[in-house]
A = this chain, B = another copy of it.
């Protein structure tokens, strides 16, 4: 790429003169005297190396060189005016692009409402939304390929990142409908000791995985994982086939499968957190906007299960 040769002020004067085809009128339109305009055009012509205007008695016309330069000058001036407006809008937080990563299960809880509210308040902002499990979200936040992460069980020791809990929800047992424990309203964790488990891999969400395993340990057993699945929807489908049972965040009740029963657990004090994450020193105003939207938008899903939701045997 070479250095630009033509000054924009001169190109602007050129365009105005090309429209007026009269040095006096163009000078008045530019708010200057005629001789300085004459000099400006001369300087531009010297830089191009050819006359851009033909000066005849009684009229000024464009030369072929001038006719070639005019559309390019117009386009460039317009490009820059647009780009400057867009840069200012982005800088002030009225426009721009916000890149959001989210864990799949959050599509069942906070994501829809948050996106709706944000779009309503900031229609000029383009949202780039990508599904990613927790660990990849943390990496993407650090390397700046996303601006916002929506995830579960945020880490406590990320130096560059900050997190804020949006909501907490209890766990539920996920059982095949025909499972003997499905007949109960609530399941004691110890009762699950004899059943194989279907769980997400630790790598997908280390803290959530460890929390679930920890609950089982507190109940006196280590879950025997028969199958891993990255998505909670897949977990439910495998449970439905009778492959095993699971422990999951309560919001997955929204996944409605005939052959799956969701039951409250005892002890029921444990909760899993949903959080928004961002780079601590990120000054992007859109990030601040989204955090503000999250703070005003806190749906409560800690209500008890409603009758009719589960497939009763």
Contacts and interface: CB of A to CB of B under 8 A. Distances in A.
Interface of A: 1-9, 11-12, 15-16, 48-52, 54, 56, 61, 63-69, 71-73, 75-77, 79-84, 86-92, 95-97, 144, 281, 283-286
7 contacts: A5-B84, A7-B7, A48-B87, A65-B87, A67-B97, A72-B80, A76-B80
Given A61-B144, A72-B79, 18 more contacts: A1-B16, A2-B81, A6-B80, A50-B91, A51-B283, A64-B90, A65-B88, A66-B87, A67-B90, A68-B95, A68-B96, A69-B83, A72-B80, A72-B87, A73-B80, A75-B76, A75-B83, A76-B80
A84 B91 CA distance: 32
A105 to B, nearest CB: 29
A106 to B, nearest CB: 24
Given A7-B8, A283-B54, A83 B73 contact: yes
A71 B50 contact: no
B284 A63 contact: yes
A71 B83 contact: yes
A49 B80 contact: no
Given A75-B79, A89-B68, A96-B68, A84 B48 contact: yes
Contacts of A86: 68-69, 72
B8 A12 contact: no
Contacts of A285: 64
A80 B51 CA distance: 17
B65 A72 contact: no
A300 B125 CA distance: 71
- Chain B CB within 10 A, most for which of A56, A79, A80: A80
Contacts of A8: 4, 6-8
B84 A6 contact: yes
- Chain B CB within 10 A, most for which of A16, A52, A63: A63
A5 B48 CA distance: 22
Contacts of A68: 83, 86-87, 89-90, 95-96
A12 B49 CA distance: 22
Contacts of A7: 7-8
A92 B67 CA distance: 13
Contacts of A54: 283
A1 B8 CA distance: 13
Contact of A83 (B76, B88, B92): B76
Nearest to A29: B1
A69 B88 CA distance: 9
Contacts of A51: 91, 283
- Chain B CB within 10 A, most for which of A64, A73, A92, A95: A64
6 smallest CB-CB distances across A and B, nearest first, come from A72-B83, A50-B91, A65-B91, A4-B8, A68-B86, A69-B87
- Chain B CB within 10 A, most for which of A75, A81, A84, A87: A87
